[in-house]
Structure 1
Amino acid sequence: MANRKKSRPVPNRLLQQERERQNWTQLRLATEIGTTPFNVSRWERGLTSPGPYFRGKLCTVFRKRPEELGLLRFTTDEPEDAVEDRTDPLLGAAALPVVYDSSIPSVSTATSGLVGRADLLQRLTHTLLTQRGALALSGLPGVGKTALAVALARDRQVQASFHEGVLWAGLGNRPNLVGLLGHWGSLLGIPAHEMMKLTRVEEWAMALRDIIGVRRMLLIIDDAWSIEAALACKVGGPNSIYVLTTRFPELAYQFAQEQAMAVHELSAADGIAFLAQLAPEITARETEDTRELVESVGGLPLALTLIGKYLQTQLYSGQPRRLQTALSRLRSANERLQLEAPQAPAEHSPSLPSGTPISLKAVIQVSDQQLSQQAQHALRSLAAFPAKPNTFSEEAALAVCAAPVEVLDELFSAGLLESSMPGRYTLHQTIADYAKLHGTDATSEECLIAYFVSYVEAYSRGYDYGVFTLESNNILAALQSACNRQMNAELIRGINAFAPFLAATGHYSVAETHLQQARSAALQSGDKHGLAEIWFHLGRLAENRGEHTHAELAYQQGLALARKIGRRDLMSAILAHWGELIVNSGDYPRAEHYLLEGLDLAREFDDKLRMSVLMKNLGEVSDCKGNYELGDSYYQQGLALARETGNREILSALLQNLGVKARRRGEQDLASKFYQEGIKWAREIGHRQRLSALLMNMGVLALQQQQFDEAERLFLESLDLARKIGHPLRISAVLQNLGMLEGMRHTYKRAEVYLQESLDLAYRIENRWLISEALSQWGELYLQQQRLDEARQAFDEALTIARNMKAVELIGITLHGLARVSAARGNYVDARRYGQESQARYTYVDHQKAAEIQAWLASLPIP
């Protein structure tokens, strides 16, 4: 057969230029069209051509014709993603002894590395036994790729399948290919005089392929750094299978295509178990230190191995002082990176110079040294981001490292930067620690701060909290860096924009830490505008925590300062939320005064977003006073404004209030419709407080329909959210409803536990509405058990509070309770009097209870 002459590949510059014009990495383009970065790279280098399917995808994504992307110069009969190698298999070889390579590392090297790897090892074994071709493992340096390869080589099933031998070659970054192939030749029995004639890699490859022939052999290529070196070791015949390990994900895919697998670090639990194998006595008694150590190295097996050996050495002395000193030392990232252990010559990492002890710093450094200077600088800059499991966007990465997208490609190709999802990256803790060891550029931190302060300001205006979920750790890191670097203006701007998200998601302690830092910064720099906003957010934070006095003080400080500097917009905001706080305490005239002043200010600036908040709060004041018609008017005006401004936080709150009113009127379907829409918006923006409230009200609806199990499910979900964010008002409210549910089930002990905690919390946060409600529920519980004196006392206390608040609905609730207590005692005169007073109040507020009480009154004996 005539040899087909191979032409030099012609790079596809048009395709590459279009990708770069879009400012996309090869990974981004691959994600867009559903292929791999390796394929994109080969297309651009002219090594292969995209088939019809991917040609269509490329034209669609770039909105270009094929000729504009350089896609028509390829022949139509070329198979999609064709590769150059079309060699025919060899068909035979001379008889050979069974060969198990002596250079395979010992079993002890890999034993502890298999903790947490059972599923992966089973999958790898199955692939080896059932598939053909090659298998490749990629992952961070020190993640345990070699240990897995050793485990495969030693596995009895694998050895039985590859019954004619297992060969091992450790390549490293500077492989002696002739020497490695010569070692294989010696094992396979090539005569010495024949071996002396083989001086080139190509000659060795032909000789080895010829002698292996059709034999069933496993060839393991460990620590490959280049595809050329890896391919040089593909010397087996058609029945040979290859296992490749590499720190480079793209190399793994080049070698094994769809049978390339990523090896990830260990989970926290597996990391602790791993460390327990190496230092069992320490992990048994220093459990918290053990967990912190595992987290500090991101579950990387090599790091845990070095830590375990070091701790065990210190323990050997028998002196507790040495162990505590060692644990203290290991809290330093620099110390962890410097930990080292000597290696036996036969087990030495092929990537490290001979005689070099293994350490985290050493194994990462060999990758770092291969990077361009620009990529090295970018790696150190990216260490400004929090480490894995945190992720960061490509846009943020480019802003921080001030480099082109190709630099991110280089770091990804080097296995130092990981892709977490399309358009996002992550940096393992040990890689970040290594980068910080070389010093993080001050400019990079300033870029991080500037990027995320601008980011949070841009998105906070629309209360679009959902966009902050992925970026919250990065934003907090930027705020802390601003504090550390005394960039006061950026710190103040950033936390004032980010505080509402932290409050909505229940991160109260985090919010307080940064707000207090910003308060000190504002006082130091004399930033009165920033300080007034900080007081406002501190007030909202204290309100959410149920700290009534602290909230009042913060709002008072903020309002006074806002008046002094003429910030009428901020005055309106403070009055809106201060008024809401006062509503919850039951002082309705004062609350209404503040809210109406805030509404006038908001109308001055046509601040529709603030007006919707004020309308909601004024509606609640009207409802509490029993003026339900005015309350409806406020709610509907607020709802229209919230829809117009897209404020989903207030929208969900207004829908909840409208749902409550519909339920009280007996319009359960309408109430459910309001609640469901409110839940949709609350979930969309991740507002856990609002979601807790809405779920509780859905539970109340289910309770009224006698759906006890569904009510309990909703109440418990609501309670779980409220406890997670530490919101005492929400906790108290849902506990009260759980107490009501258990009372209806006649499980009185459980009801008492719920109601007691609810009442205690209501007293603690000084919420008189909740106090009166909880006391009324206690009265109901006592009444159900015929404990009439205790029921009367509870209802009397609840009525006193309700009358002081002039809360019409609460007065109706307590009077209904007293009416039934009187009836139970046979005092029908008082029963009728209390019942008629209760019915009048329920009728006034258009509550469905009015008809129920009227029927009850009709059933009473006539004196």
Structure 2
Amino acid sequence: MLADLKRRLCSGKNAALSALYGLPGVGKTAIAVELARDREILDYFRDGLLWVGLGINPNLLGLLGRWGTLLGLAPYEMETLTTVAALAKTLSSVIGTRRMLLVIDDAWRIEDALAFQVGGVNCAHLVTTRFPEIALQFAHDGSTVVHELSEDEGMSLLARLAPEVVASKPGEVRSLVGAVGGLPLALTLVGRYLWSHFYKDQPYRLSAALSTLQSIEELLRLTQPASASHTAMPAEAPLSSLQAVINMSDQHVAKQAQDTLRALSIFPSKPNSFPEEAALAVAHTPVETLDTLADAGLLEGSGAGRYTLHQTIADYARLQRTDTLVEERMVSFFTLFLATHATDYNALERETDNILAAFQIAYERKMSEQLLRGVVTFALYLEVRGHYSIAETQLVRARQAALDAADQAGLAFTLLHLGRIAERRGVLNQAEQLYSEGLTVARQSQLRTTLVDLLANLSEVVLNLGEYGRAEQYAQEGLDLARELGDQQRMCVLLKSLAEVIDCHGQFERGDELYREGLALAREIDDREMMCLYLQNIGAKASKRGKHEQAMPYYQEGLSLAREMRHRQRMSALLSNMGMVSTRMQHYAQAEAYCQESLSLARTIGHSVRMGNALQNLGIIERERGNFAQAEAYFQESLDLAREMGHRWLTSETLCEYGEYYLAQNKVEDAFTAFAEAYAVARGFGGQELVARALYGLARIALLKKDFVAARQQAQESLAIFETERHEKVAEVKQLLAALENSM
């Protein structure tokens, strides 16, 4: 910014006009001072610099007279100049062709700034102001907004002001940078305050100072001596504080605008923004009041129809807010907003911070009905976007609200979604318990649609726990009820659940039929999330049958839909599967890229199952590359996660991959241990595909040990299962059996 300003000021253009505008305390004057001290500026403007600080009620004649004195006008010459216009005209004549920089600091009215535009053709003018309109009127395209500092820039400033404090307490200092929103004046006050309380032999004094600054009131009251060259503050205010600086702008607007500013402080501060319609509803004010606050530099625009409040201005206004109806209007607006935008995830994403602020108010003020209604609507969005911790917090509160209100429908819903969060985190036993509690409530209260949802989710979680019989029972009951209700969306969900169970039972042809029926229904009702799930599962079945090129288009279509929805869990799953297809096709670099992205997404949202899958796949890639140490690290982390979750499918599957890892290194006994455990786990819950994979591994080990009878028996059992699924391993197992025939 300084470099651009220097170029403009030194451009030599006729009466170069520049302006800096921004929030109170953002550093406009500090930048002007820096320019005024710059050696290149001083060399260019060889005839000198004139500085004036205007403020709210400047004595224009007196300030112009001071410039006249500096320019060499005699007192008797100025006595005859009794108007601003006359004195300004004379100053302009005196300056003539001199090359000077004229700084007009802290302009509150355009007329005041223009009165000091007295430079000649070789001069440049720089105005600083809080008001965007004044900057634009004075300098047109030469106006520049001064932004607050970034977190790192704020730390650098504090490191210059209080270096040993920053070195000894970096975490606490960084939090202070965030607390004041990177505002330079605030950071300067904080830095000087901390430095004044830093004593090496008395560390408790610094701790006490840091504790003091946790109070918003104390931050706003911090003071420093006003700059000798800066006359913006009223004469009766010899010290500058954040509160005083902001108060000047606050007092400059009418009471309606002041009340509106206090009301708007209920919204989370910058970088959050809020829509105009929310501002008008919450503040109960006309749109012109927002314009007044924006013109005063107290309210910032943040894109079309949106506004934002800086942290310090919001803190100032919040401390003075007394209208409790503001909170009720905030909750009412966003409860209605959720009801009308339930499936508009882009709109929900924009308003997430505002919605959560409304929930917090509803929770603190015990507005149970509004809290429950809002959370019920918002929970699915939070889950889809992977915000599990936020969702859990809100759902726990909503569950209590439902209990307090004896709202059985709300209670069943919150139990359903708490179960979904637990399931996605891999806490399967907790998920089963929550679903079962919800199921009891739904049956007792005859909540049929919620009952279908609970049956679908309960089927999936007990399937992952390896209880195939119960999984099929729940899925079939749910599907029958969905058909009875004529609910196509829920039918779509249950067809997928039933297909997964049927596949695990080894009834692969029937599973295919259910998948085809479900995908057709998902396309018919345009349920993009279910389309993703079906495309993923159908692609996986094609891949297992060795049709990798056929599988990839299914995955790619699913990934495209998942990215559109920003459904991070589904994106992770599809990327992981695409990684495996690429591995089978020996495109290892691409496979690794897919799986690393999958793992990153899974870690971000804390989805243990997806993490385990991605880690297992990365282990396979490194094993195929011959990087055995890295492969083992991936496999071990995947196995640890699977065991921690009690996820028997993932446990058995990873053990099978571990067995292949050991065989690749001729570690026969270790391979036997891995395959034997994989077989025992899979047999325990009836996972037919994994039983076949483990048996195939054990058959190869038996062959290596010359135990031909055991090898043939295990290979034949494995082949029978693989043939039912039309698995790609069929040809390999047949080759093994042929080799056995030749050996016996």
Per the TM superposition, whether the score is higher than 0.5 is yes
* Offset, 1:348: 4.3
| In 1, Cα distance between equivalents of 2:64 and 2:229 | 18
- Superposed CA deviations along residues 360-389 of structure 1, whole A, max 9, x for unmatched, are 111111111111222111111111111111
Q: Counterpart of 2:672? A: 792
* Offset, 1:290: 0.6
* Offset, 1:664: 2.2
Match of residue 327, structure 2, among 430, 440, 445: 445
Asked if 1:283 corresponds to 2:162, the answer is: no
User: Where does structure 2 lack aligned partners over 5 or more consecutive residues?
Assistant: none
Asked if 1:130 corresponds to 2:11, the answer is: yes
Structure-2 change in CA distance of 1:828 and 1:349 (3 Å): farther
8 Å CA contact retained: 2:522, 2:530: yes
Match of residue 845, structure 1, among 725, 739, 743: 725
Map 1:309-388 → 2, pairs under 5 A = 309-315=192-198, 319-343=202-226, 346-388=228-270
| In 2, Cα distance between equivalents of 1:218 and 1:812 | 85
Match of residue 592, structure 1, among 464, 472, 497: 472
Query: Structure 1: which amino acid aligns with 2:10?
Result: L
TM-score relative to the length of structure 1:
0.83
Structure-2 change in CA distance of 1:826 and 1:125 (3 Å): farther
Match of residue 538, structure 2, among 642, 648, 658: 658
* Offset, 1:333: 1.0
Structure-2 change in CA distance of 1:741 and 1:291 (3 Å): same
| In 2, Cα distance between equivalents of 1:661 and 1:385 | 49
Query: Structure 2: which amino acid aligns with 1:221?
Result: I
* Offset, 1:256: 1.5
Query: Structure 1: which amino acid aligns with 2:198?
Result: L
Map 1:198-597 → 2, pairs under 5 A = 198-315=81-198, 319-343=202-226, 346-439=228-321, 441-460=323-342, 462=343, 464-597=344-477
* Offset, 1:829: 4.4
Structure-2 change in CA distance of 1:450 and 1:656 (3 Å): same
Q: Counterpart of 1:614? A: 494
| In 1, Cα distance between equivalents of 2:597 and 2:178 | 30
User: Where does structure 1 lack aligned partners over 5 or more consecutive residues?
Assistant: 1-119
8 Å CA contact retained: 2:53, 2:230: no
| In 2, Cα distance between equivalents of 1:733 and 1:440 | 53
* Offset, 1:267: 0.9
Q: Counterpart of 1:162? A: 45
Structure-2 change in CA distance of 1:758 and 1:349 (3 Å): farther
- Superposed CA deviations along residues 456-501 of structure 1, whole A, max 9, x for unmatched, are 23333x3x43332221111111111100111001111111221222
Q: Counterpart of 2:578? A: 698
Query: Structure 2: which amino acid aligns with 1:419?
Result: G
Identity value in percent: 50
| In 1, Cα distance between equivalents of 2:638 and 2:698 | 22
* Offset, 1:830: 3.8
* SS at structure 1 position matched to 2:674: helix
8 Å CA contact retained: 2:612, 2:642: yes
* Offset, 1:642: 2.7
* Offset, 1:440: 5.0
- Superposed CA deviations along residues 80-115 of structure 1, whole A, max 9, x for unmatched, are xxxxxxxxxxxxxxxxxxxxxxxxxxxxxxxxxxxx
Structure-2 change in CA distance of 1:218 and 1:527 (3 Å): same
Asked if 1:625 corresponds to 2:508, the answer is: no
- Superposed CA deviations along residues 685-708 of structure 1, whole A, max 9, x for unmatched, are 221111111111111111111111
- Superposed CA deviations along residues 349-370 of structure 1, whole A, max 9, x for unmatched, are 4143444311111111111111
| In 1, Cα distance between equivalents of 2:631 and 2:90 | 84
| In 2, Cα distance between equivalents of 1:626 and 1:744 | 29
Query: Structure 1: which amino acid aligns with 2:635?
Result: L
TM-score relative to the length of structure 2:
0.96
Asked if 1:197 corresponds to 2:77, the answer is: no
| In 2, Cα distance between equivalents of 1:832 and 1:473 | 63
8 Å CA contact retained: 1:689, 1:730: yes
8 Å CA contact retained: 2:435, 2:458: yes
Query: Structure 1: which amino acid aligns with 2:451?
Result: M
| In 1, Cα distance between equivalents of 2:550 and 2:142 | 55
* SS at structure 2 position matched to 1:515: helix
| In 1, Cα distance between equivalents of 2:245 and 2:77 | 38
Query: Structure 2: which amino acid aligns with 1:511?
Result: A
* SS at structure 1 position matched to 2:232: coil
Structure-2 change in CA distance of 1:812 and 1:453 (3 Å): same
Query: Structure 2: which amino acid aligns with 1:660?
Result: A
Deviates more, 1:350-359 or 1:397-406: 350-359
| In 2, Cα distance between equivalents of 1:694 and 1:467 | 25
Match of residue 2, structure 2, among 84, 99, 121: 121
Structure-2 change in CA distance of 1:167 and 1:797 (3 Å): same
| In 1, Cα distance between equivalents of 2:339 and 2:510 | 36
Structure-2 change in CA distance of 1:212 and 1:695 (3 Å): same
* Offset, 1:637: 2.7
* Offset, 1:316: 5.1
| In 1, Cα distance between equivalents of 2:361 and 2:400 | 15
* SS at structure 2 position matched to 1:243: strand
* Offset, 1:778: 0.8
Structure-2 change in CA distance of 1:856 and 1:261 (3 Å): farther
* SS at structure 2 position matched to 1:219: strand
| In 1, Cα distance between equivalents of 2:710 and 2:187 | 77
* Offset, 1:647: 2.9
Q: Counterpart of 2:519? A: 639
| In 2, Cα distance between equivalents of 1:124 and 1:646 | 55
Query: Structure 2: which amino acid aligns with 1:809?
Result: E
- Superposed CA deviations along residues 391-437 of structure 1, whole A, max 9, x for unmatched, are 11122222211222222111111111111222221111001001111
Query: Structure 2: which amino acid aligns with 1:805?
Result: F
| In 1, Cα distance between equivalents of 2:498 and 2:421 | 21
* Offset, 1:508: 2.2
* SS at structure 2 position matched to 1:561: helix
Query: Structure 1: which amino acid aligns with 2:580?
Result: V
Q: Counterpart of 1:801? A: 681
Q: Counterpart of 2:569? A: 689
Asked if 1:173 corresponds to 2:73, the answer is: no
* SS at structure 1 position matched to 2:252: coil
Asked if 1:677 corresponds to 2:560, the answer is: no
| In 2, Cα distance between equivalents of 1:644 and 1:373 | 57
| In 2, Cα distance between equivalents of 1:760 and 1:545 | 14
Q: Counterpart of 2:695? A: 815
| In 1, Cα distance between equivalents of 2:489 and 2:136 | 52
| In 1, Cα distance between equivalents of 2:255 and 2:393 | 38
Structure-2 change in CA distance of 1:459 and 1:580 (3 Å): farther
8 Å CA contact retained: 1:466, 1:686: no
Structure-2 change in CA distance of 1:152 and 1:429 (3 Å): same
* Offset, 1:341: 2.3
